[in-house]
Structure 1
Amino acid sequence: MSLMTTRPWKHPKTGIYYLRRAVPADLLALIGKREEKISLGTKDPVRAKSLHARALLELDERWTNLRAGPKLLSEREAHEMVEPLYAWWIDQHRDEPSQQAFWRIDLGENLWPRRLSGWSLQSNLAATLIKEAADPLVGARRDMEEWCTDQADAVLKQRGIVVDQSNRRKLARAIAAVMQRASLAVRAAAQGESLDVGQQPIARSTLPSSAMAVQPYGTAPIMLPPAKLSTLVEAWWREAERTGKSVSTREAYAHAFRLLTAFLGHDDAHRVTKQDIVRFKDHRLASRKRNGELVSATTVKNSDLAALKAVFGWAHDNGRVAENPAVGVTVAKAAKVKLREREFTAEEARTLLRAALHLTPGKELPQTYAAKRWIPWVLAFTGARVGEIAQMRRQDLRREAVAGYPDGVWMLRITPEAGTVKTKQARDVPLHPQLVELGFPAFVQTVRAERLFIVPDAAGGVAGPLQGVKNRLSEFARQYVSDPGVSPNHSWRHRFRTVATEAGVASNVIDALCGWSARSVGERYGSVSLKARADAIARLPQITL
């Protein structure tokens, strides 16, 4: 007997309960994995316990079917297996029946049409096939046939039933028949008729949460409506946004899914397999960035694969896909060879700041020129992240009264109100006197638009334009500091800590200026005053070019 969990297993991150059971040795080759892990679709421990017991029974039935080998299905058995789809489909469109546009009733009665005897022997067969290929109705009908066949495969896989091609087609036809009946009922409902199952009206509270009545515990539906990769990301974002996820995360995840779609050549989430994700990973590791360098293993692991795992995991937990194909796919971590420190050297910093200071406007946008002219200097004296400065607004700079500074102090406000801030917490960073002397406050006061360095898109969004400016800054810096051992933008942040430490600035003050989290419980108490911040910035030495 296989090992199994005697109680539901609670996912440590999502809090959703699962059934976990080791696959018996005699079924490993058929199932292709060592463990069955099935979402119970609930965070309620009491409900999870009863669902777990039912799920175990169904899993045992599936394994019994697999051990029994190929099975012959009667038409009655095929229709009984998929009958729960009728109630599920109606419930999907109960509130807005006129919006049902997936199943085409005009084509549903004529799927898998029979060919006339001798059809393949006709003299103009090639011309007939070409004509069919160009007929949009034929294409739509074949898409419906393919969908029914995919659902038949899902039903068979879920129940562990092995059939030949003839019985597979029989089950697919049964799915088409129940979809046609349900869609006709939905169309009638759009005309004001009541929706019912048999003679009994459907009660929402008694409907299964998925297409198959054998899965009322909320696992992913066997009969899954079409799902595009792009729509999965947007659906995930609608929930993730409320949990505090940043817009930059949304953009990064959407980018990863665009890359996956382009690689696969289709946008069908249900067709994505683990093998597809592995091939995509290998493809990304062999890809090159705009500058000709290979995409790093860190980017593939922490950006591409992280996005796929998060969104597919959410889609699986919410019954939108049958499984998470990205689970278990990773990139081996190799120790990096460190040949130098990560901050700019004094000479590299001077070279880059000299280039920024003497930069003349070109054909680029005024905002891009301003970013290259000012942002390297601001980063050098604030230790901020490049995105925090690139998204800066005119109102984020103000003069503040501070004890000991008769003329006040120019204060830069880094805030989530302007865009993405990693910690999601606003902070104030005083301007260094050298930045004031160079004319940064005067520049800010001359800008008429709200944003200093980016032009929002037509919808008012800043994520895309922000990434573009960050890329241009990286390219600009690489013209003067080409050593791959340093980051063209982030190395300013490393250098700031080194310079501030050498100037005698306390570690907790450096953390407050840069937006780093406290390293101990004790450091979370109290705050760093504006005076302490201003004093710290004033201690930093001027940069001589």
Structure 2
Amino acid sequence: MRQTMPNPVKIGSTYYLRLHVPRDVVELARGKSAPVHVAEHTSFPKMTSHVKVSLRTKDRGEARRRFSEVLSDLEERWDALRQGTVKLSHRQTLALAGEVRSDFIRFLDENPGEVAMWDDVALADAQAVTGTANPLAVPTPHTRERDMEKRFGGLVDAALSRRALEVDEASRRKLIEQVAAAMQDVSRINIAKAQGDYSESDETTRYPEFNSPREPAKRSVEAEPRTTLSDTIAREVERRASGQQSKPLPDKSVDKYQKVARNFVAFRGNELVATITAREADKWQQYLLASGKLSNSSVRQRLQNLRSIVEWARKQSFGELFPQGNPLDLVQLTERNGVSSEDRTLRMDEAKSILQAARLEGKPELRWLPWLCAYSGARVEEVAQLTPSDFFQYEGDWFYRMTTKGGKSLKNAYGIRRVPVDPLLIEEGLMRFTASHQSRHKERLFVKRAGQNVSDWVRNTVGLDRDELAPNHGWRHLFEDVAMSAGVSDSAKTYITGRATGRSAESYGKSDVMLPGLAREIRKVPSLLQARHSTSAER
């Protein structure tokens, strides 16, 4: 079985990196820290059998980018443990001590603190150097070593950890000595700054630049030059299906990406992702356009789908595949003449024709999906997933749940909502229809191909053959126009339609208390078959 690529995990509202420490270094790493950089922050998480780091973001896309960077830092630390201890040269020891000095002076440059504080620091440092930190103890080499470790050991650990170094004991002792000397400089310069003398800064020629005592090891996570387009799609499918609250890639989307991969491979004769170039993808685009079998819009979509697959491959390799960026980003996609929202929207006479024809149909999807879309603005794919158990009553009004539970899918998080059933649908007999299926309350009310069946029916049976018309999606635009004209509040309209825009939409549907308000708003929507002259209160 292929190993699942590691991913950020969400704890509360924040994403984290949480990984097992590799088995070959877990005992060496236990109790030690690892310097990691997250955005503008540096932290030093302790390692046990696991390591856990906050990625400091609630956005999944940003979390995945930061995850890759933090993992790179951890890999460097683990590589250092694998290679064992190294011996620092005199030059390298001085360079590390110089970095400690520079940090203290640079970070405190704006506010160096009080003179008295630095006098205390200088005194404590001097006592450690002489082994007299405990005034009651007789100074000996042992007390000095103990005091130096206690006073400067933490600074040494941080300096080594930042460089992902494991050093031998002799190198560590020498570094403690040099850090102690550097901290004398720190106290002297900061005392001067506290007194108003900024003639000295962290700039100095005393300390050399640091050169690593060893070459960095190869990362354990590497781009796989033999990775294929099929491999990449399979990994993405597996990733999205992982976890208790996963959102699997829909089967139709998997088929779409696999078809694009097959067509591109047939054109180029090679399935390896690493060999894909922008020039080659552009040639494929020109070939598809020249064949005349696809619209510009369809060709454009195929290139976008191929670009998505390549981007998955980049992320699965943590950027080691195509480190300079997705090569398909350089391909100029074919232009297309767009269809305006107005042209895609159902006209009132078309809406009446569909709803009246639906009354005569026996197939559930043809009878009810047009009506459900007409009085909610929902996407047909959403309402086509409804089950009898999705319908419920609250304070006398009927609602239905749009949810991702039970294997259902929605376009985005805004799609999760509770939609009020317009009383007109109840008059049409919708609730009698759902009640007749209560014995199979968790089974879908409509067949899987319901949306396409309705679209074909509108075109071929109802006879609405206007090219620009979107037979199903046109309800979405029409509902929004009708709701606006009827005075439905923007926040209610945004929530009911499951739009990803509209900041005030968050005030609707978050608790049962808000449901009656939604029901009142839906009652404002007039009949699409005949004008209503009664007020919303009378209804």
Task: Report the CA distance between 1:409 and its aligned residue.
Answer: 1.7
Matched, 1:392 2:386: yes
- Aligned with residue 451 of structure 1, among 439, 443, 457: 443
1:515, 1:17 → 2: CA distance? Answer: 28
Correspondence 1:218-233 to 2 at 5 A:
220-221=222-223, 224=224, 226-233=226-233
CA distance in 1, matches of 2:263, 2:338: 31
| 8 A contact 2:307–2:326 mirrored in 1 | no
Matched to 1:544, the amino acid is L
CA pair 299-487 structure 1, distance change in 2 beyond 3 A: farther
Q: Which runs of 5+ in 2 are unaligned?
A: 1-36, 40-58, 79-165, 167-214, 531-539
Q: Distance in 2 between matches of 1:375 and 1:417?
A: 21
> How far apart in 2 are the matches of 1:226 and 1:46?
26
Query: Is residue 493 from structure 1 mapped to residue 476 from structure 2 by the alignment?
Result: yes
Confirm whether residue 432 of structure 1 aligns to residue 422 of structure 2: yes
Matched, 1:540 2:532: no
1:125-147 C-alpha deviation (Å, 9 max, x unpaired): xxxxxxxxxxxxxxxxxxxxxxx
Paired position in structure 2 for 1:414: 402
Alpha-carbon deviation of 1:215? 6.5
1:400–1:340 CA distance, 2 compared to 1 (3 A):
closer
What do you get for the CA RMSD once the two structures are aligned? 4.1
Q: Give CA-to-partner distance per residue, 1:476-524, whole Å, 9 cap, x none.
A: 222332223231211101111111111111111111211224533x664
Give the match's secondary structure for 1:411: strand
Q: 1:288 to 1:255 in 2, by over 3 A?
A: farther
Shift of 1:378: 0.6
1:396–1:412 CA contact under 8 A, matched in 2: yes
Report the equivalent of 1:511.
494
- CA drift at 1:421: 1.7
SS in 1 for 2:399: strand
User: Do the aligned partners of 2:273 and 2:310 also contact (CA within 8 Å) in 1?
Assistant: no
Q: Distance in 2 between matches of 1:253 and 1:420?
A: 14
Q: What is the CA–CA distance in structure 2 between the aligned matches of 1:45 and 1:270, rounded to whole Å?
A: 21
Distance 1:328 1:50, change over 3 A: farther
Which amino acid counterpart does residue 413 of structure 1 have in structure 2? R
Distance 1:337 1:373, change over 3 A: closer
Partner of 1:472: 453
Cα distance change of structure 1 residues 400 and 17 upon mapping to structure 2, 3 Å threshold: closer
Corresponding residue of 2:365: 371
Please report how far the alpha carbon of residue 446 of structure 1 lies from its aligned counterpart in structure 2 after TM superposition: 1.8
Shift of the 238–433 alpha-carbon distance from structure 1 to 2, 3 Å rule, reads same
Closer/same/farther in 2, CA of residues 444 and 288 from structure 1, 3 Å limit: farther
Contact 2:296–2:334 (CA under 8 A) maintained in structure 1: no
- Identical amino acids, percent of aligned pairs: 21
1:308-347 counterparts in 2 under 5 A? 308-317=309-318, 324-334=326-336, 336=338, 338=340, 340-347=342-349
Q: How many residues align?
A: 326
State the partner residue of 2:208.
none
Would the alpha carbon gap of residues 336 and 327 (structure 1) be closer, same or farther in structure 2, given more than 3 Å must change? Answer: closer
Amino acid aligned to 2:528: I
C-alpha contact 1:342 1:485 (8 A) present in aligned 2: yes
Residue 328 of structure 1 deviates from its aligned partner by 2.5
* Other structure's SS at 1:296 match: helix
In structure 2, the residue matched to 1:264 is 265
1:277 to 249, 273, 281: 281
- Cα separation, 2, equivalents of 1:415 and 1:287: 42
- Counterparts of 1:13-412 in structure 2, within 5 Å, are 42-43=69-70, 216-217=218-219, 220-221=222-223, 224=224, 226-241=226-241, 246-248=247-249, 251-265=252-266, 267-270=271-274, 272-283=276-287, 285=289, 295-296=297-298, 299-300=301-302, 302=304, 304-317=305-318, 324-334=326-336, 336=338, 338=340, 340-360=342-362, 369-401=363-395, 408-412=396-400
Rounded Cα–Cα distance in structure 2 between residues aligned with 1:503 and 1:351: 22
Q: Deviations over 1:513-539 (max 9, x none)?
A: 11224533x664575721111111222
Match for residue 423 of structure 1?
A: 412
CA shift, 1:236, in A, is: 2.0
Q: Given residue 538 of structure 1, which amino acid in structure 2 is its aligned partner?
A: R
Q: CA deviation at 1:436?
A: 1.1
Gapped runs of 5+ residues in structure 1? 1-7, 19-39, 52-204, 206-212, 361-368, 402-407, 456-464
Instruction: Kindly indicate whether the alpha-carbon contact (under 8 Å) linking 1:288 and 1:294 is maintained by their aligned counterparts in 2.
Output: no
Note if contact 1:41-1:217 (Cα within 8 Å) is conserved in structure 2: no
Give the AA of the match of 1:370.
P
* Secondary structure, aligned partner of 1:382: coil
CA distance in 1, matches of 2:317, 2:62: 12
Which amino acid counterpart does residue 296 of structure 1 have in structure 2? S
State how far apart, in whole Å, the 1-side matches of 2:299 and 2:272 are.
Answer: 26
Q: Secondary structure at the match of 1:410?
A: strand
Deviation by residue 1:74-107 (Cα, 9 ceiling, x = unmatched): xxxxxxxxxxxxxxxxxxxxxxxxxxxxxxxxxx
Tell me, what secondary structure is at the counterpart of 1:43? helix
Classify 1:312/1:491 alpha carbon distance in 2 versus 1 (closer, same or farther; 3 Å). Answer: same
Task: Work out which of the two has the higher radius of gyration on C-alpha atoms and give 1 or 2.
Answer: 2
Give yes or no for contact 1:41–1:219 (8 Å, CA) kept in 2: no
The DSSP-based 3-state class of the residue aligned with 2:386 is: coil
Q: 1:261 to 1:293 in 2, by over 3 A?
A: closer
Q: Return the alpha-carbon distance in structure 2 between the equivalents of residues 342 and 380 of structure 1.
A: 15
Task: Specify the alignment match of 1:24 in structure 2.
Answer: none
Q: Which amino acid aligns with 1:497?
A: E
Superposition deviation, residue 429 in structure 1: 1.3
Cα offsets for 1:248-294 (capped at 9, x unmatched): 567425522332224423644455444443344345556788xx866
Q: 2-side partners of 1:526 and 1:391: how far apart? A: 22
